[in-house]
């Protein structure tokens, strides 16, 4: 029997959470009702009261409620709920979590879920699930389920949705993953334009006894990879696709933030760094490209994605940034340069070929790097370059071990 936290604003949505709790109990699990409501009096008796939730973060709930500021109350609970559920999970007192909510409930529920480890079952039934959920998910594996109608009572539709949600969270806690923890873990960054390189490197690493997790360099993918590295479970990083820094610097849509490439320094793991796809900045469809980029070189990747070639000046700055990030890797780092092409479309004769921009990038990397820089007269997706990158990382990891 697992204990599943049923967290919600029990003053306004108590009936709905109790319904879900009953379904969980009927499946043989123990629901733990947690009240994070800050409106009127709770209509349901919670197992953990709102006062206890607030106390977990040192918040004086009575003083907070006296100010009658709903926004302030929601913000306070987004700080208190994570502290409480993280403690419950660390102590083994909960094994899954589900919440139902509108705007405020989703903010509180997902804040609590983001405090839980990757792999911990998390389900948010929300009125916002059909929109942009990135701010609610962060870098965590939260399952968002559309509530379809508002979470406002039990009816012929909500009963179906909530019943399926209860079944889903029970199924999650009942499904015990089989994990091969014997093999050391390597994470790698990849984009469509570096797929062949990373796929070949992955084969080499796996043949050497490593497990490889590949993350798409799409902004969110880079942030998630950073969180996995920082968790301490990673033995090495194959960061050959640093393209998210082009979007961060120039203003594209797939940026991963200024902390991209920082986690390996904190976790003290070896890294092999490459300049994969630093030739491109990502935008949506052509009509969405800011007017200030008029006259630049573009490539239509598909109807929804337009790529813009980075200039020599931008490449020089990108080289400096990537080199300085690599300089912080005290557990061992090497920068690998494929001098014939840094993406599929930057090779000679391809749409993004720009020898001057590439040389600006390579020169800046050489100038600013205090870690070894190895150069190969290869395109990034050549098997020889991919194999060299994998072998280099293996050597770094073995040296550290």
Quick: pLDDT tens for 185-195. 999 999 999 99
Place of tokens 């630093």: 278
d(CA 289, CA 312): 20
- For residue 391, what pLDDT is reported? 98
Q: Name the β-bridge partners of 3.
A: 30
In tens, the pLDDT along 189-221 reads: 999 999 999 999 999 999 999 999 999 999 999
d(CA 172, CA 352): 45
d(CA 17, CA 73): 20
For 288-295, what is the mean pLDDT?
95
- For residue 387, what pLDDT is reported? 98
**What average pLDDT is seen over the chain?**
96
Residue 181 has pLDDT above 80, yes or no: no
Structural domain spans, the chain: 3-174, 185-400
**Which secondary structure element, helix H or strand E, spans residue 317, and what is its range?**
helix 312-327
- For residue 336, what pLDDT is reported? 98
Q: Is 65 exposed, middle or buried (0-12, 13-18, 19+ CB in 10 A)?
A: middle
For 375-392, what is the mean pLDDT?
98
For 347-358, what is the mean pLDDT?
97
Q: Which two tokens stand for residue 172?
A: 């999650």
Q: What angle do CA 375, 360, 259 make, to 5 degrees?
A: 85
191 neighbors 177 (Cβ within 8 angstroms): no
Identical fold, 3-174 and 185-400: yes
Residue 273 has pLDDT above 80, yes or no: yes
User: DSSP labels for 266-303?
Assistant: HHT--EEE--TTTTEEEESSGGGS-GGGTTS-EEEEET
- The closest of 223, 315, 221, 334 to 277, measured between CA atoms, is 315
Dihedral angle, C-alpha 375, 377, 381, 384, nearest 10 ° = -80
- For residue 44, what pLDDT is reported? 86
In tens, the pLDDT along 123-178 reads: 999 999 989 998 999 989 999 999 999 999 999 999 999 999 999 999 999 998 87
Q: In sequence order, what are the residues at sequence separation of 6 or more whose Cβ sits closer than 8 angstroms to the Cβ of residue 396?
A: 236, 270, 271, 272, 331, 332, 333, 334
Q: In sequence order, what are the residues at sequence separation of 6 or more whose Cβ sits closer than 8 angstroms to the Cβ of residue 363?
A: 316, 319
Q: In sequence order, which ranges of 175-239 are alpha helices (DSSP H)?
A: 195-207, 220-230
> pTM above the 0.85 mark?
no
Q: Which two tokens stand for residue 179?
A: 């994990």
Q: Give the residue with greater pLDDT, 68 vs 365.
A: 365
In tens, the pLDDT along 22-73 reads: 999 999 999 999 999 998 787 789 999 999 999 999 998 888 888 888 889 9
- For residue 23, what pLDDT is reported? 98
Could you tell me which CATH class the domain 3-174 is placed in?
alpha beta
- For residue 43, what pLDDT is reported? 74
Residue 401 has pLDDT above 90, yes or no: no
CATH pick for 185-400 out of 3.40.710.10, 3.40.50.12030, 3.50.50.60, 3.10.105.10: 3.40.50.12030
- The closest of 269, 214, 144, 259 to 386, measured between CA atoms, is 214
d(CA 199, CA 196): 5
- pLDDT band with cut points at 50, 70 and 90 for residue 231: confident
295 neighbors 273 (Cβ within 8 angstroms): no
Residue 337 has pLDDT above 90, yes or no: yes
> Sign of torsion, CA 258 261 263 267?
negative
d(CA 246, CA 315): 8
- For residue 103, what pLDDT is reported? 94
In tens, the pLDDT along 76-94 reads: 999 999 999 999 999 999 9
Reduced to 3 states (helix: H, G, I; strand: E, B; else coil), residue 308 is: strand
- For residue 390, what pLDDT is reported? 98
Q: What share of the chain is helix, strand, coil (3-state, %, to 5)?
A: 45, 20, 35
- For residue 42, what pLDDT is reported? 76
């Amino acid at each position: 029997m697992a204990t599943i936290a049923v967290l919600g604003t029990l003053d306004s949505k108590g009936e709905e959470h109790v319904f879900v709790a009953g379904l969980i109990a009927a499946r043989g699990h123990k629901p733990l009702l947690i009240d994070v409501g800050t409106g009127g009096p709770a209509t349901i008796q919670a197992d953990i009261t709102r006062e206890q939730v607030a106390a977990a973060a040192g918040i004086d709930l009575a003083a907070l409620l006296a100010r009658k500021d709903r926004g302030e109350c929601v913000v306070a609970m987004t700080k208190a709920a994570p502290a409480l559920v993280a403690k419950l999970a660390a102590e083994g007192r909960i094994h899954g979590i589900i919440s139902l909510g509108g705007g405020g409930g989703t903010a509180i529920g997902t804040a609590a879920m983001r405090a839980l480890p990757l792999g911990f079952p998390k389900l948010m039934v929300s009125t916002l699930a059909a929109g942009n959920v990135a701010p609610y998910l962060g870098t965590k594996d939260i399952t968002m389920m559309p509530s379809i109608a508002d979470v406002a009572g039990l009816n012929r539709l909500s009963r179906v949705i909530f019943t399926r949600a209860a079944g889903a969270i029970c199924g999650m806690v009942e499904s015990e993953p089989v994990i091969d923890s014997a093999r050391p873990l390597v994470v790698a960054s990849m984009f469509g334009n570096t797929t062949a390189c990373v796929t070949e490197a992955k084969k080499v690493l796996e043949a050497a006894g490593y497990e490889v997790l590949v993350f798409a360099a799409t902004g969110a993918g880079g942030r998630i990879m950073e969180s996995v590295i920082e968790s301490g479970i990673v033995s090495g990083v194959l960061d050959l696709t640093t393209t998210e820094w082009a979007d961060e610097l120039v203003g594209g849509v797939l940026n991963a933030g200024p902390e991209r490439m920082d986690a390996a320094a904190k976790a003290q793991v070896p890294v092999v760094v490459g300049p994969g796809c630093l030739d491109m900045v990502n935008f949506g469809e052509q009509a969405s490209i800011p007017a200030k980029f008029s006259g630049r070189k573009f490539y239509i990747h598909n109807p929804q994605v337009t790529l813009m070639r980075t200039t020599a000046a931008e490449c020089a700055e990108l080289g400096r940034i990537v080199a300085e990030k690599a300089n912080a890797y005290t557990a061992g780092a090497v920068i690998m340069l494929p001098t014939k092409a840094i993406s599929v479309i930057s090779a000679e004769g391809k749409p993004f070929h720009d020898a001057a921009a590439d040389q600006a990038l390579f020169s800046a990397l050489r100038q600013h790097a205090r870690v070894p820089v190895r150069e190969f007269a290869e395109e990034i997706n050549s098997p020889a370059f991919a194999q060299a990158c994998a072998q280099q990382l293996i050597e770094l990891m073995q040296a550290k071990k």
